Amino acid sequence: MKVLYKIYFALYFSISLVLFYPVFKILLSRKKWFPIAFKFMRLYSKLWLFFTGIRLKVTGAENVIHNEPYIICANHSSFVDIPCLYSFFNEYFVFTGKQEIERWPLFHIFYTSGMNILVDRKNPKKASLSFKKMIAELNNDHPIFIFPEGTISKTAPLPSEFKSGASALAIQKQIPILPITFTTNWKRLERKGLLNGEASPGIAEMIVHKPIYTRGLKKTEAESVNQILKETIFRPIFRKYKFNYQ
């Protein structure tokens, strides 16, 4: 059953992306159309969840920040995380992603068009350019989304290494961080190949925590903020699955 669901999930994603690609290609061709593209991506994400039998359940929606720049951070436990985020947030925000996405067929358009930002951590010069783009978006009051783990955790729901870049950026700009926890997305589609791992339709549980404020903090405190961020995000997971916090 899990294998069949994974095949169906992959087929739906591939076929729907091919069908919608011309629309994305047009909407992402001009910067002034990015807000419209964002709305279309929200619709696409909602259809994606609906047709794969996934229902988003959100707790803490009242904690979302409005009308000011901030950084959104979540654990990365599944390919389902991204459509969940687009389905939930109705205000324009900018995604960051790993440089490898540039090589992904069709999907790369969401990052190579200029709307979202690719980060090449292995190339200091490119990483610096990406950082400047993030600053520019925040200066335009656009929230930035960052997965501190960088990629889907191979040990999900347990965390992988949390990089402190998001915390450092938040302190530099003196803006809040909005932590988000996905507690069940790994069960919807786990990153363990076709024959292994969890996969099934069901509830995608998303917890929006209270913001972590950085006003008045110094850059030397980035690691401390990063640890608070990690503990905030993973506390519900350790509680839910009875893991000992490490």
Q: Which CATH number fits domain 2-241: 1.20.1060, 1.10.10, 3.40.1130, 1.10.760?
A: 3.40.1130
In single-letter form, the type of residue at position 112 comes to: T
- So where are the chain's domains? 2-241
Handedness of CA 238, 241, 242, 246 (dihedral sign): negative
Are β-strands 144-146 and 117-119 bridged in parallel, bridged antiparallel, or unpaired? unpaired
> Closest by alpha carbon to 83, among 165, 126, 20, 171?
20
Class of residue 193 by CB neighbours under 10 A (exposed 0-12, middle 13-18, buried 19+): exposed
Are β-strands 94-98 and 144-146 bridged in parallel, bridged antiparallel, or unpaired? parallel
Asked whether residue 66 carries a pLDDT value surpassing 90, the answer given is yes
In whole angstroms, give the CA distance from residue 70 to residue 213: 10
Whole-number mean pLDDT of the chain?
A: 94
User: How much is the pTM?
Assistant: 0.94
pLDDT, tens digit, for every residue of 184-222? 999 999 988 777 889 999 999 999 999 999 999 999 999
Class of residue 96 by CB neighbours under 10 A (exposed 0-12, middle 13-18, buried 19+): buried
Q: What is the 3-state secondary structure (H, E, C) of 147-171?
A: CCCCCCCCCCCCCCCCCCHHHHHHH
Q: In what order do the strands lie in the sheet with 54-59?
A: 54-59, 202-208, 177-182, 71-74, 144-146, 94-98, 117-119
pLDDT at 245: 54
Asked whether residue 246 carries a pLDDT value surpassing 70, the answer given is no
- Chain-centre distance for alpha carbon 233: 13
> Closest by alpha carbon to 17, among 152, 118, 110?
110
pLDDT, tens digit, for every residue of 68-126? 999 999 999 999 999 999 999 999 999 999 999 999 999 999 999 999 999 988 888 88
Q: Which residue reads 């294998």 in tokens?
A: 3
Query: What average pLDDT does the segment 7-15 reach?
Result: 96
